[in-house]
Chains A and B, each alone.
Chain A
Amino acid sequence: MKRKSMFAALLAAAMALSMAACSNESEPSGGSSGTSGAQQKFTLEYPAHMQELGYTNTIELDQVPTRIVCTSTYPVMTLYEMGAEMIAVPQTTVLDYPEDLTAKAEQLPSLGDTFSAENIVELEPDLVFMPVSQQQDYGQSLEDLGIPVYYVATNSQTHNIYDVVREQSQSLVDAFSVDEESTQKGEEVMGQFDALDARVAELQQTCAGKTVLILLAGGTNAMYLQTEDATLGCMAAMCGLESVYQNDQANSMIPLDMEQALEYNPDVVLITGMGTAEDVQTLMEGVYEMNPDYWYSIPAIENGDVIYLPGDYVSTAGINIINNIEDLADILEAHFTEA
């Protein structure tokens, strides 16, 4: 009896030791998830700009999601670069999705901000990324069905779009850095922002003191002035250009006052609109010819200090903004170097 008790005690001790050894693994660096692999707990927090809007809750899942649905383009490329498993992404003309993403993920059709909620539910997602604008119509319903929904901002009244994208990306990187590989990917993602900051820091010296007039050409008599709160305005400001229109009312775009425009005298004019840069240029050259006395009295236009940009600069999609800003930086550097 005594021998049996001792054997049982030894066996129990051995089992306890082996269980302790199995559970004693090191925590992964970065991220806010538990142990590695699909069994880890997953925690996704909202960035500062969303918390200011009242989104203070945290998405907590028992494991890293593997059936992610995005109805906004904003988080898609960050999630892709993090290796997150998406099963559906929104149809869009703003982004060219990588082939391996379109091979795995269904593209959800939508009409503006409307899409089929049934489609989403049928996909049985374990996490949905949705723009704030869709919360009332769709988000609440999905949450009531027990589907976790994480809302993303696609614009902001108080932050420029680059900061919004950066903070959003950081939150996603923190959440999806669940192992060494994904942590490495997260560092590469955030490294792109750091590299861009360094790039534009150099350009800011070239553009120091230079002013810019930023226009959106909606048609022959539909000219809109973009402020630094708009996508292109934000990009230009990052490159060191000072907008001729300083707006204190948080409007990103206002109809151009053509009389006042004569007083701006910018060093360069950036014009964007529908279609390619060539389409925008063709349209504007037609506009100039309609009223040459007016348009060529603006020195920058008369001197050809005009840069035409494609419709990609009207709106952006998440970390794609980095590519747009890099392209713009190249264009501005070439322009001011040649001048």
Chain B
Amino acid sequence: MTATKQASKRGKNQGGIRLLRVSVVWTVLLVVLFLLIVASIAVGSAGYSFGTVIHAIFSGEQSTARTIILSLRLPRVILAILIGASLSAAGALLQAVMRNPLADPGTIGVSAGAGTAAITVLLIFPNLTLSLPLFSFVGAALACVLIYALAWKGGVDPVRIILSGVAINSVLGGYNSLLQLMNSDNLSGVLSFMNGSLSGMAWVHVRTMAVYAVIGLFLALLCIRHANALQLGDEMAKNLGIRVNASRVCLSAVSAFLAASTVSVAGMISFVGLVVPHISRMLVGSDYKVMLPTSILLGGATLLFADTVGRTIVPGMEIPVGIVMAVSGGPFFLYMLRKRGKFNGG
């Protein structure tokens, strides 16, 4: 067998192994997600058996179990999956734009902008609280536009985006702190938003988030080719026929859309967009064709697990999912620091 044929055969074998690996990972993720859904619906302040859950959902009889499962747990489970998937996709796209493993939606001002809008409404215009999701979405979008406008100089450079993001985050963070100081007696709503929470979510929130998520995730999947090209560097991407600046702006816009939608519904949830894409890379590699769908599945499962832990670990009390993610994301981040060589996957 000639060297060329041997290399070709090796390539096919590796491709087959990769395909097998991706198939196994996706199958496992889907099974895990299904089991998490079942477990999340069953556990809580009141634990229900699988039979009770099925009966409550399908029997039509009014009962406390039916109210809890259909009005509280099921919308929350679906929302956790949609939000986790959206945040992971947003983080994955941003890491391609920035070519920086530390990039997450907070870098582009989404969290700061949404937080500023939310705090302003909650503390200064409490009569507008019912419109909070709209204002926080607009705040997130405006902050993102501002950062990119400031970073624009004949094009968009990742370093300038990060630096602009640091500056804007700092200014908005100062404003947020000032407002909180001036209204220190009335921070309960602000704390809930800043810590990210799925408590009290209902079907109306699921419908809103579903629309955002379907649109955003569809657009994210359309960006796969561009994300792969951007990872190779500007010159290589141009040689592949990619318009680098336009791609960066588009990917960033999709990422901001996804992240802003999650913040507007559930408040600030950190680490999902940062950590999940890295785990996905470790599992399936850096090719966005497989990494992005993996991130979407894994993000949904991760946030669902975190939310379930948060509402069950302390009886009678709920720990906001944002806190659970922050506490668990930190140690994982340290683990990744120790395994620096594997940042970009196998």
Contacts and interface: CB of A to CB of B under 8 A. Distances in A.
Interface of A: 94, 111-114, 216-224, 253-260, 262-263, 273-275, 279, 282-283, 286-287, 290-291, 293-294, 297, 311, 314-315
A314 B70 CA distance: 33
Given A218-B188, A224-B188, A259 B126 contact: no
A222 B45 contact: no
A219 B202 contact: no
Given A218-B188, A222-B197, A260-B45, A291 B71 contact: yes
A315 B185 contact: yes
Query: What is the interface residue range for chain B against chain A?
Result: 35 or more
Given A291-B71, A293-B71, A294-B72, A255 B318 contact: yes
Interface in B1-53: 44-46
Interface string B117-128: 000001100110
B192 A294 contact: no
B201 interface: yes
Nearest to B45: A259
Contacts of A258: 72, 199-200
A283 to B, nearest CB: 5
Given A216-B188, A290-B204, A257 B130 contact: no
B69 to A, nearest CB: 10
Contacts of A219: 122, 129, 132, 188-189, 192-193
Given A113-B184, A218-B192, A223-B200, 9 more contacts: A218-B189, A219-B192, A222-B199, A256-B200, A257-B311, A259-B44, A262-B64, A262-B67, A275-B126
Nearest to A279: B127
A interface SS class: mixed
B191 A256 contact: no
Nearest to B198: A221
A253 B188 contact: yes
B16 to A, nearest CB: 48
A114 B190 CA distance: 20
A279 to B, nearest CB: 5
B99 interface: no
A275 B127 contact: yes
B67 A221 contact: no
A223 B129 CA distance: 13
Contacts of A255: 192, 197, 199, 317-318, 320
B200 A291 contact: yes
Contacts of B44: 259
Contacts of B320: 255
Contacts of B160: none
Nearest to B317: A254
Contacts of B289: none
B100 interface: no
A274 B189 contact: yes
B246 interface: no
Given A224-B188, A255-B318, A297-B67, A274 B122 contact: yes
A223 B64 CA distance: 20
Contacts of B198: 221
A221 B192 contact: yes
Contacts of B127: 275, 279, 282
Contacts of A286: 129-130
Contacts of B316: 254, 257, 260
Nearest 4 interchain pairs by C-beta: A218-B189, A222-B192, A218-B188, A291-B202
Interface string B188-216: 11111100011111111100000000000
A30 to B, nearest CB: 34
Contacts of B71: 291, 293-294, 297
Contacts of A223: 199-200
B72 A259 contact: yes
B164 to A, nearest CB: 28
26 contacts: A94-B185, A111-B178, A112-B180, A112-B182, A113-B184, A216-B188, A219-B122, A219-B129, A219-B132, A221-B192, A253-B188, A254-B316, A257-B317, A257-B318, A258-B199, A259-B72, A262-B67, A263-B46, A273-B126, A274-B189, A286-B130, A290-B202, A291-B72, A291-B204, A297-B71, A311-B186
Nearest to A298: B67
Interface string B292-329: 00000000000000000001000011101000000000
A186 B205 CA distance: 56
B188 A291 contact: no
A162 to B, nearest CB: 18
Nearest to B70: A293
A263 B65 CA distance: 11
Given A222-B188, A222-B189, A274 B199 contact: no
Contacts of A218: 122, 188-192
A217 B200 CA distance: 12
Contacts of A287: 200
A111 B205 contact: no
A339 B73 CA distance: 34
Nearest to A278: B127
B134 interface: no
A114 B197 contact: no
B250 interface: no
Nearest to B202: A291
B337 interface: no
B198 to A, nearest CB: 8
A267 to B, nearest CB: 18
Contacts of B311: 257
A260 B311 CA distance: 11
B122 to A, nearest CB: 6
B54 interface: no
A254 B311 CA distance: 13
B68 interface: yes
A218 B73 CA distance: 21
B240 interface: no
B181 interface: yes
